Structure 1
Amino acid sequence: MAAFVAAAPSSYHAAVEVARRAGAAGFACLTETDEWRIEPGGRYVVVRDGSVIVFAVPSDAGPTTAFTILGAHTDSTGFKLKPRPTTGSAGWWQVGVEVYGGPLLNSWLDRELELAGRLVARDGSEHLVRTGPLLRIPQLAVHLDRNVNDGLALDKQRHTQPVWGLGSPEDADVLGALAAEAGLDPADVAGYDVVLADTQPGRTFGAGQALFASGRLDNLLSVHAGLTALLAHAEGEDADEGERPVSGAVAMLAAFDHEEIGSASRSGAAGPFLEDVLARVQAGLGAGPEERRRALAASFHVSSDVGHAVHPNYPERHDPANRPVAGGGPILKINANQRYATDAHGAARWNTACERAGVPSQEFVSNNAIPCGSTIGPITATRLGVRTVDVGAAILSMHSARELTAVVDPWYLSRAMRAVLEG
């Protein structure tokens, strides 16, 4: 998982890395502008911008074959490069960035950061780019703010602009530096989507190396767990006969971009990407309108995103009876107002899968005084009418530049996902 996160400093890198790993496992790459020929027993992957869908079709698939979908998201909170990004002040080169989603701003201070994302050339070609350590958002010294430890307040515009060099802004060109990394002439760059990413590698630590810290666990942890489960399922690993699945549902991982800002985009969960892929797969299997609806009615979606472990320094912020702990297994997310899509049938299916996988499970429900966030789960359930359950792994420091989980929990989560695919 540490290697996967390191390979995915942006959602675009994450989607490409998922596709690369799937391709290495024998999945054929589909292009949306081409004609698709979906065959029983086939294995496929398709990328749309920063989103990716990987799926394995059982050998006996037909018009009414259902789908078992593992859902996640590829983006993380942080900062995105603005237009006219080269700025500076007081002898420092700086870059202009915009806050993306809801990051813990203070966690981004005094870290070596990189720029990562995609450049689009004038001919329409897309180029992934990452700079390695290049920038830092410097904190103000305590000598210049004697009250800083009584409450740090950061202005999102004035206090979050990184430094990356020395001299006059007229001598700097951050887009030129990005173009050079991609092997492009700066004048040929016609568009870009570039974010900041922490460059510190993920690592285990603590007593017995039981803890794991990394950037972007929200939500590359779920993407990696789902991909691991799907590839193992497609290969039939641990199966009695060591063969690929010949029956059951179409096994699918759908990892979307833009969850942290509401999912309302062409590649977000609120967009048509998943629906488009499902329709094309069903058409390839000979399904008409009636068979399509029957297949979706029998389908199941596991929406996986990280969740809150009880914080030992703030235990009062959690529900007094439902208290997920690190190392305690996957969490089942429940919300009366359907901020999570879990219902009784979905909970029963998930709990049964955890039992079959031999992993512990626990529930999360928010303290009534502290409303919870939401996920792609309710969005997908609303768009498609597919039974959906919201789950995840418990972490601390959610939306920090560097988050924390128990080493065992991503493994537990992947095992439970594999059991769902086998169910």
Structure 2
Amino acid sequence: MMTAHLQVQHLLDFIDASPSPWHVVASIETELAQHQFTRLYETETWALQSGGRYYVVRDDSSIIVFVQGQKPVQDSGFKIIGAHTDSPGFRIKPNAASCIDGILRLSVEIYGGPILATFTDRDLSLAGRISYKNDQGDIDRQLIHFDKPLLRLPNLAIHMNRGVNEDGLKLQKQLELPLLLSTLTAEQLPQAYFAELLQQQSGIDAKQMLAFDLAVYDTQKGSFWGAENQFYANSQLDNLASCYAALQALLDDTVMQSDATLVCALFDHEEIGSQSTKGADGSFLPDVLQRIAMATDTLGQDYHRALAKSFMVSADMAHAYQPNFPNAYDPDHKVMVNNGPVIKVNANHRYSSEGISEALFADWCNQADVPYQSYSHRCDLPCGSTIGPITSAKLGIRSVDVGCPMWAMHSIRESAGVFDHAAMIKVTRQFFISAV
């Protein structure tokens, strides 16, 4: 049995290899290949076999992985774990390169809701994909990853910002977020210089490049910390820790023998509302479930019977109690790092949990010998949301919102507990093999 620290080391390696949502899906595909999964394409006809292992990718950064159950879906339903592949941060604008006083900068747009101050004074770089016209005249795309520090957002010295420690660091989003890249001579053109940089890294002729999707990421690798290495830190824990836990639960040999059809649905665009062709509020998951049903002759009422017997675990990280800021938490709902997965509850349905789904997840925790906690947000603070309410409403499937407790959510450097990650894998395996 793999130790908790080894499981987290694999998670850190996964995150370090996945600096953008497009790389996340590529990393997952690499892992699926080791378990003999077959890629399906939405433009082709599907022929599915009982016990078959399959996955579908939409627009390179959302992926749905499934194992066809031993029993028909109308008899056993779908067991789904949903999570998201994106994290808040910066994205490079189309005409990003500009030069001021000989310093080349790249302008950025804020993606989602990052803690902006945490991006200062970090070793930043770029990762994503380039769309280009290939030698055959077709539009193609290729991943690109600068694996060295390339960019920086230097802080202003305290001598010029005397109130920073009292007032906090405040960055003007249009003027003070461009990232420093290089110095240029008067003869060098900013856009041409940046295009040449992309060409050198990708091997694609700059004249063939038509567009790019580039995310800014932190090059510092993930690490353990604490007196007994009981914590770990990295970027993108929200929500790659949930994605990877779900994937590890599914790839267990015993789990993949399930009677039910098992699904991991990992979506891009959660951090910006999920409303896109590949987001949880789009058609991706309903399309795939319907295609599974049609490929197995589960039509009409039988498909709706399958949905009625289905269940979804919406897995997204949870807010751990931080003792330096006690007033940020409901005193009766402090969830602690390394005390087990968290069931997230909100009366206004910002989370999809309700009494029955909470009870089911609690029972799976008990069966798996895993501790669990319950979280409710302070009533006087706005509560975030997840893909849970969106997806369960769209499909009519009962759902519970859960996650591992973590510190500094939406910082460029987040922290969590080693033993919680292991516990989440264990309980989601239990979910996959248990009756609903």
TM-score normalised according to structure 1 size: 0.96
Partner residue in 2 for 1:306: 317
Q: 154, 172, 175: which is aligned to 1:138?
A: 154
Counterpart-to-counterpart distance in 2, 1:403 and 1:178: 29
Alignment of 1:183-222 (within 5 A): 183-222=203-242
Counterpart-to-counterpart distance in 2, 1:165 and 1:171: 12
The residue matched to 1:79 in structure 2 has which SS?
strand
Maintained 8 Å contact 2:364/2:427:
yes
Alignment of 1:64-75 (within 5 A): 64-75=75-86
How many correspondences in the alignment?
A: 414
**Once the 2 structures are TM-superposed, how far is the Cα of residue 314 of structure 1 from its aligned partner?**
0.7
Partner residue in 2 for 1:22: 32
Counterpart-to-counterpart distance in 2, 1:137 and 1:32: 41
Counterpart-to-counterpart distance in 1, 2:410 and 2:101: 31
**Once the 2 structures are TM-superposed, how far is the Cα of residue 179 of structure 1 from its aligned partner?**
3.0
Counterpart-to-counterpart distance in 2, 1:415 and 1:175: 46
Counterpart-to-counterpart distance in 2, 1:409 and 1:203: 16
Alignment of 1:17-416 (within 5 A): 17-49=27-59, 50-122=61-133, 123-132=138-147, 133-151=149-167, 152-168=169-185, 170-172=188-190, 173-232=193-252, 235-236=253-254, 244-245=256-257, 247-416=258-427
The residue matched to 2:362 in structure 1 has which SS?
helix
Maintained 8 Å contact 2:94/2:212:
no
Which 10-residue stretch deviates more, 377-386 or 172-181? 172-181
TM-superposition CA deviations, 1:242-282 (whole Å, max 9, x none): xx51x421111000000000001111000000011101111
TM-superposition CA deviations, 1:315-343 (whole Å, max 9, x none): 11111111100001000000000000001
TM-superposition CA deviations, 1:129-170 (whole Å, max 9, x none): 111221111111112212221222111111111111112484
Counterpart residue identity of residue 24, structure 2: A
Counterpart residue identity of residue 12, structure 2: A
TM-superposition CA deviations, 1:205-239 (whole Å, max 9, x none): 1111011010000100000000000001xx117xx
Counterpart-to-counterpart distance in 2, 1:256 and 1:326: 26
Which 10-residue stretch deviates more, 407-416 or 161-170? 161-170
Counterpart-to-counterpart distance in 1, 2:327 and 2:166: 21
**Once the 2 structures are TM-superposed, how far is the Cα of residue 180 of structure 1 from its aligned partner?**
2.4
Counterpart-to-counterpart distance in 2, 1:100 and 1:248: 40
The residue matched to 1:219 in structure 2 has which SS?
helix
**Once the 2 structures are TM-superposed, how far is the Cα of residue 14 of structure 1 from its aligned partner?**
0.5
**Once the 2 structures are TM-superposed, how far is the Cα of residue 88 of structure 1 from its aligned partner?**
2.3
**Once the 2 structures are TM-superposed, how far is the Cα of residue 64 of structure 1 from its aligned partner?**
4.1
Counterpart residue identity of residue 358, structure 1: D
1:12 aligns with 2:32: no
Counterpart residue identity of residue 312, structure 2: H
Runs of 5+ in structure 2 lacking a partner? 1-10
**Once the 2 structures are TM-superposed, how far is the Cα of residue 80 of structure 1 from its aligned partner?**
0.5
TM-superposition CA deviations, 1:291-310 (whole Å, max 9, x none): 00000010000000011001
Counterpart-to-counterpart distance in 1, 2:124 and 2:154: 11
**Once the 2 structures are TM-superposed, how far is the Cα of residue 410 of structure 1 from its aligned partner?**
1.1
The residue matched to 1:209 in structure 2 has which SS?
coil
Q: How much is the aligned-residue C-alpha RMSD, in angstroms?
A: 1.3
Counterpart-to-counterpart distance in 1, 2:397 and 2:239: 22
TM-score normalised according to structure 2 size: 0.93
Counterpart-to-counterpart distance in 2, 1:71 and 1:178: 34
Maintained 8 Å contact 2:94/2:211:
no
Maintained 8 Å contact 1:120/1:127:
yes
Give the % identical residues. 39
Counterpart-to-counterpart distance in 2, 1:286 and 1:345: 31
